[in-house]
Amino acid sequence: MNYKQAMEYMDSCKVYGISPGLDCIRELLRRLGDPQKELRFIHIAGTNGKGSTLFFVSNCLTAHGWKVGRFLSPVIFSYEEQFQVNGKPISKAMLGRLTGAVARAAEDMAEEGLKHPTVFEMETALAFLFFREKKCEIVVLETGMGGLMDATNVIETPLVAVLTHISRDHMAYLGDTLEEIVAQKAGIIKKDCRVVAMENTPETEACIRKRAAEAGAKEVVFVRQQDVRDCHFGLGKQRFSYGRYQDMEITLAGIHQVMNAALALEVTEAFGRQGFSLSEECMRRGMGVGSWPARFQILQKSPLFLADSAHNEEGARQLRRSLQFYFTNKRFIYIMGMFRDKECDKIIDATCDLAEYIITVQAKGNPRALPALELAQRIALNHDRVTAADSIEEAVEMAHLLAERDTVIVAFGSLAYMGDCIREVERRKDRKGTAAWGGAGRRGRNGK
């Protein structure tokens, strides 16, 4: 296959939907030579913070000189972003070739009367083929949804199992209660791995410890807010101390990113305890470089415009806390786009009272996207200044027309529309020569 054929094939396979379970992916990988068995993994599950944690961890490992694979979803700008080695996406030529191999195996399964793999199962298999071919020394692997029955959980023994913050999401697949959801996420814990998890409720932590004991994990470490010290928050750079690392600097904004960074430090330390030598110099270099799109990302300075991936209730609450912390006495204009299977009403309740004006959009070409008009109607039940835009370009233009000197434009929600939104802001900046933000820092309350 070439790249165009590969994209057409994957698009045609969307009819197979979402189907949690491991039997199909196991059979698909068996036919492809079980490439995952030749790789080593750090496996990340959770509700919020998976992408940021993957970003920090993989950067630290790359800074040490290792060849590091990244498998992540969803993507923002291009399909190839899902599959990366040392931060560089797969080439279109290789993507086409490997998709062809996966497609042949998938179609053979279907012809033999077996279940046809889903798109995510095929993408997972493609990732393992890619990482094996590139001879990756370690792969940082992000679950698609849940953990226990997620296709990525076909791997047998991760070196480190990572659990970011866990809250209610994907309840149609993962369960109605937080305890059921935690049990699914904690399903990535395997024998002899090390477990690093973000602090949570006592009940959640007890569930994680129980799973770790049953699986025979080597250790369980929780990263706690009280252990993160001397925080200095800013829109350009942020600093904190954690464990043996003093005055660690990161480039991702958002007050929650300090905790994600501390989690990543602990994950990398756990990786080191599996027999790998770590250098503090490399850790600092890895933590302090790069950017991660749509994670409280400042796109321009005037008017201030930021993009964030808040697409569930906890993400919305994190966004609210950051907006109130960084932008005291500012006016907010929102651009919002949501999926219909998310808890939109809770996201609205968590954020919309801060906004002076709200513009809704619909992600193009995604059947899960909530129509802009329907989202606007739901927001209008609690907010009297909301309108639906016909396009993302119109929404960005409208937000700029409404913005004044003290306005912050905030685009958030589904990552499915975020790439188009960021590109449109960049086009406007290119036309007008608007500078990006490199703002000053602010010390956290009580040093945190």
* CATH number of the domain to which 375 belongs: 3.90.190.20
Q: Which of 287, 321, 352 is the last residue of a domain?
A: 287
Residue 18 lies in a domain: yes
How many structural domains does the chain have? 2
Categorize the per-residue pLDDT at 60 as very low, low, confident or very high, splitting at 50, 70 and 90. Answer: very high
Per-residue pLDDT at 119: 97
Q: Which of 287, 310, 343 is the last residue of a domain?
A: 287
| 231 lies in the same domain as 209 | yes
Categorize the per-residue pLDDT at 155 as very low, low, confident or very high, splitting at 50, 70 and 90. Answer: very high
Higher-confidence residue: 201 or 168?
Answer: 201
Average pLDDT over residues 1-18: 95
| 314 lies in the same domain as 236 | no
- Range with the poorest average pLDDT among 162-176, 317-331, 367-381, 399-413: 162-176
Residue 242 in contact with residue 287, Cβ under 8 Å? Answer: no
Q: Which of 240, 259, 287 is the last residue of a domain?
A: 287
Per-residue pLDDT at 441: 41
| 72 lies in the same domain as 173 | yes
Amino acid at 427: R
Is it the case that residue 171 has pLDDT exceeding 70?
Answer: no
Is it the case that residue 24 has pLDDT exceeding 50?
Answer: yes
| 249 lies in the same domain as 364 | no
Rounded to the nearest integer, the mean pLDDT of the chain is 91
Report residue 297: phi and psi, to 5°: -90, 125
Residue 370 lies in a domain: yes
Per-residue pLDDT at 42: 98
Residue 94 lies in a domain: yes
| 266 lies in the same domain as 346 | no
Q: What range does the domain containing 349 cover?
A: 297-433+441-445
The two structure tokens encoding residue 73:
């979803």
Residue 7 lies in a domain: yes
pTM for the full model?
A: 0.90
How would you class 49 by CB atoms within 10 Å of its CB: exposed for 0-12, middle for 13-18, buried for 19 or more? buried
| 317 lies in the same domain as 276 | no
Residue 65 lies in a domain: yes
Categorize the per-residue pLDDT at 48 as very low, low, confident or very high, splitting at 50, 70 and 90. Answer: confident
| 264 lies in the same domain as 311 | no
| 424 lies in the same domain as 319 | yes
Average pLDDT over residues 271-300: 92
- Range with the poorest average pLDDT among 117-131, 257-271, 328-342, 425-439: 425-439
pLDDT tens by residue, 319-356:
999 999 999 989 999 999 998 877 889 999 999 999 99
Residue 420 lies in a domain: yes
| 156 lies in the same domain as 199 | yes
Per-residue pLDDT at 73: 86
Per-residue pLDDT at 167: 65
Domain CATH code at residue 254: 3.40.1190.10
| 222 lies in the same domain as 355 | no
Per-residue pLDDT at 145: 82
Is it the case that residue 440 has pLDDT exceeding 60?
Answer: no
Residue 292 lies in a domain: no
